[in-house]
Amino acid sequence: MNEFEWYVPTDKEHWAQTLQLPTAPENATLLQGFEWYVPADKKQWVRLEKHLPGLKRWGVDNIWLPPGCKGSSNQTNGYDIYDLYDLGEFDQKGSVATKWGTKEELLSLAHTAKKNGVGLYWDAVLNHKFGADHREKCQAVEVDPEDRTQEISEQYEIDAWVGFDFPGRGDEYSRMKYHWYHFSGVDYNAANKKKAIYKIIGERSTGWAQTPDVDAEKGNFDFLMGSDLDYSHPDVERDVLAWGKWLASELPIRGFRFDAVRHFSVDFLRKFITQMDELNKDGWFFVGEFWKDSSADMRDYLDRMNHRFSLFDVPLVKNFSRISQGEGHLRDVFYETLVQSDPHHAVTFVMSHDTQPYQAVETRIEDWFKPLAYALILLREDGYPCVWYGDLYGIDPAGEHPFPPSCGGALPKLMLARKLYSYGRQPDYFDDDTCIGWVRYGTWDRRFGCAVVMSSAGPGVKRMHIGEMHAGEVWTDVLGWQTHEVVIEADGFGYFSCDKTSVSVWVNDAAEGRERFSEEFDTNIYDM
């Protein structure tokens, strides 16, 4: 039997029963539900709830929410976390609401998401705290910022912002109060107003976590910012584990995105995940931000996490950036990436709040390349793709750094093409430095498939095989950028083209769902 004889274009339920063919799982797409410059108007939960039905229709299955715990200010994004147990419920740090809204609005969003079959992932910021309520004196030494294992001062007393009483919340949900001995380091001494990296020392403090429990960059990368939590202290471990259980009881979330996992204890994170798995027999999705351009280091981290975890594929984004700026070949786009070496634990993305313009790890990807990059993560079989809010909706036109939706408006169509047609085996045509293509053959129950071709230089064309069962069919580009038709030859081949520095996605013109590509995606998320 050749590779195409399994396909029988008759009643699919009959053939599923007769041949006992498995049903193809539906492709899932993740949306990062924010960008760095979302207005601090406390309306983001409301905006997302309003747009949930439309997002689901265009192929979004899960949304990564921004950090919803109270930060040090109601103007900030929550990575400067103050109180894990305040989801916009208590009058602390300037308001009841967080930058994103109130707890009541968050619960309403969660209800609507569940009703629409959209999962929510919580952005857990567990490495540090900001916005302490009072200072405390403690002993510390300064360390070399480039090698935190090297002490560059004698031990002396500092006045550190490490006292957390949570006066607005009191003892509601947790009685835990934080003191100097719950932290391993700080970055400011109020006694002399000096900024430095201070390692806290004392009988009740153990200093930095050891490598490889934290990453070994800069000698020891335990400290990142603010007041660094010490997970070797039983009070800290107990409180944050209790928070995980509490959050799961408050919100119907499906998973967690963990911030800055290189900087805090792997051992603790394993305990956290084990605990959460015991709470939910249906399973959670866990993904970590491991910002390092090394797939080898990523695989090592996944080994230590017993592969009960995924990571964002930073090396892939670096490749996108280089190729978009004329460095390297398109055919090598997956070279030394996580999705290439461990596709089941790679979350692929093009841009995020960290890499967008004007941010600390800004990673420039030229506008012309973004449709290609999104096709590479959305229309291939490997990896779990994450679409960025700023590319889908643009950056607020009334804000400081506005720009329109990317991909010339084609991103929703790429998402929809993933949901409808990107199934089955995947022959690759990576036989040219600047023009590549691939085919998805489809499955018995999602039989239409697709053909993708892209070029990083001049106009491109690929003769690709999509199967004799499609002979005589007329295929067209769902993006509408190629306006001619391709008639599939008797041997199952067709000539599929794209414009220069562009991409095209070819599907049977009579395929189920083709009419949906003429609909308009609502990008007016700020029109309330």
Strand-pair partners of 400 = none
Report the alpha-carbon distance of residue 498 to residue 242 in Å, rounded.
54
What is the torsion angle, in degrees rounded to the nearest 10, for the CA atoms of residue 70, residue 75, residue 78 and residue 79? -140
Classify 40 as helix, strand or coil: coil
Catalytic residue among 289, 297, 354, 396: 289
Tens of pLDDT, residues 429-486:
999 999 999 999 999 999 999 999 999 999 999 999 999 999 999 999 999 999 999 9
Helix axes 266-279, 234-250, angle to 10 degrees: 30
Burial 441-468 (b: 16+ CB within 10 A, else e): bbbbebbbbbbbbbbbeeebebebbbbb
pLDDT at position 318 is: 98
Return the amino acid letter for 467. G
β-strand partners of 183: 229
Residue 5 has pLDDT above 70, yes or no: no
Catalytic site residue from 123, 213, 215, 259: 259
Strand runs labelled E in 393-510:
428-429, 435-440, 450-455, 460-465, 474-477, 486-487, 493-498, 503-508
Amino acid letter for position 487: V
What is the distance between the alpha carbons of residues 157 and 140, in angstroms, rounded to a whole number?
6
Q: What is the pLDDT averaged over residues 196-219? A: 92
Name the one residue in this structure whose structure tokens are 């007041």: 227
Can you tell me the distance from the alpha carbon of 179 to that of 134, in angstroms, rounded to the nearest whole number?
Answer: 10
Tell me the DSSP string of 334-394: TTT-HHHH-GGGEEEES--TTTSTTSTT-----GGGHHHHHHHHHSSSSSEEEEEHHHHH-
Query: Residue 44 — φ and ψ, nearest 5°?
Result: -65, -35
Report the mean per-residue pLDDT for the chain. Answer: 94
Q: Tokens for 198?
A: 């201070």
Provide mean pLDDT across the span 167-175.
98
User: For residues 80 and 92, what is the distance between their CA atoms, to the nearest angstrom?
Assistant: 14
R_g of the chain, CA atoms, integer Å:
25
Q: What are the φ/ψ torsions at residue 190 (nearest 5 degrees)?
A: -70, -20
Q: Kindly tell me if the per-residue pLDDT of 180 is higher than 50.
A: yes
Instruction: Report how far residue 415's alpha carbon sits from residue 438's, in angstroms, rounded to the nearest whole number.
Output: 17
Separation between Cα atoms, residue 277 and residue 271, nearest integer Å = 10
Q: Does position 24 have pLDDT exceeding 90, yes or no?
A: no
The residue ranking higher by pLDDT, 31 or 6, is: 31
pLDDT > 90: percent of the chain: 91
Give the C-alpha separation, 299 to 309, whole Å: 11
Summary count for the chain: helices (H), strands (E)? 11, 25
Q: Are 350 and 373 in contact (CB under 8 A)?
A: yes
Active site (annotated) includes residue 142: no
Share of the chain above pLDDT 70, in %: 96
Whether residue 412 is preceded by a cis peptide bond, meaning omega within 30 degrees of 0, is: no
- In the predicted model, is pLDDT for residue 20 greater than 50? yes
- The token duo for 134 is 């009072």
Cα–chain-centroid distance for residue 180? Answer: 33
Residue 300 pLDDT: 97
Is the separation of the CB atoms in 163 and 176 below 8 Å? no
Write down the pLDDT at residue 3. 37
Instruction: Enter the tokens of residue 468.
Output: 């004799």
Cα 349–chain centre separation: 7
Pairing of the two strands 62-64 and 30-32: parallel
One-letter amino acid identity for 421?
Y
Q: Tell me the mean pLDDT in the region 300-319.
A: 97
Q: Tell me which residue of 232, 209, 229 sits closest to 221, measured CA to CA.
A: 209
| Whether the Cβ atoms of residue 448 and residue 52 lie closer than 8 Å to each other | no
Contact between 255 and 286 (Cβ < 8 Å): yes
Residue 4 binned pLDDT confidence (cut-offs 50, 70, 90): very low
Q: Two tokens at 525? A: 């998320």
User: H or E stretch including 275?
Assistant: helix 266-279
Give the pLDDT confidence score for residue 241 in this predicted structure. Answer: 98
Tokens 């510390």 locate to 140
Query: Residue 19's pLDDT band (boundaries 50, 70, 90)?
Result: low
- Using the structure block, give the residue that is written with the tokens 């095989």: 465
Mean pLDDT of 49-60: 98
pLDDT of residue 6: 35
pLDDT by residue (tens digit) across 463-475? 999 999 999 999 9
515 has catalytic annotation: no
In the predicted structure, residue 326 carries a pLDDT above the cut 60: yes
